[in-house]
């Protein structure tokens, strides 16, 4: 799965494109990382990330940045999210 995310560094903001290999995170787990699921569980209320940026997956599907980061464990840090 290829995904996009706005990140920041010392030079400013940029679009980060990366991918998750198929099967690394099972599909039933990926379904639990979506913004819709996070909102239904009340996880977005009071989250500082929710208003700033989401991981955008295939077909524009939005993922909760914090849940995605915890499950996928990408190279970028949560502090770098724009």
Q: Using one digit for the tens of pLDDT, what is the confidence trace for 13-35?
A: 888 999 987 777 888 898 999 99
Residue closest to 49 by CA, chosen among 75, 25, 26, 82: 82
pLDDT of residue 50: 66
Query: How far is 76 from 81, CA to CA, in rounded Å?
Result: 8
Q: Using one digit for the tens of pLDDT, what is the confidence trace for 36-57?
A: 999 999 988 888 776 678 899 9
pTM for the model stands at: 0.84
Residue closest to 71 by CA, chosen among 28, 42, 15: 28
Query: ∠53-14-55 over CA atoms, to 5°?
Result: 30
pLDDT of residue 32: 92
Instruction: Give mean pLDDT, residues 52-80.
Output: 88
């Amino acid at each position: 799965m290829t995904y996009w995310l706005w990140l920041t560094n010392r030079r400013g903001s940029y679009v980060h494109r990366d991918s998750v290999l198929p099967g690394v995170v099972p599909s039933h787990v990926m379904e639990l990382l979506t913004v819709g699921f996070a909102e239904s569980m009340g996880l977005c209320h009071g989250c500082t990330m929710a208003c700033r940026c989401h991981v955008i997956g295939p077909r524009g599907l939005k993922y909760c940045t914090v849940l995605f980061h915890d499950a996928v464990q990408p190279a970028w840090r949560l502090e770098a999210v724009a």
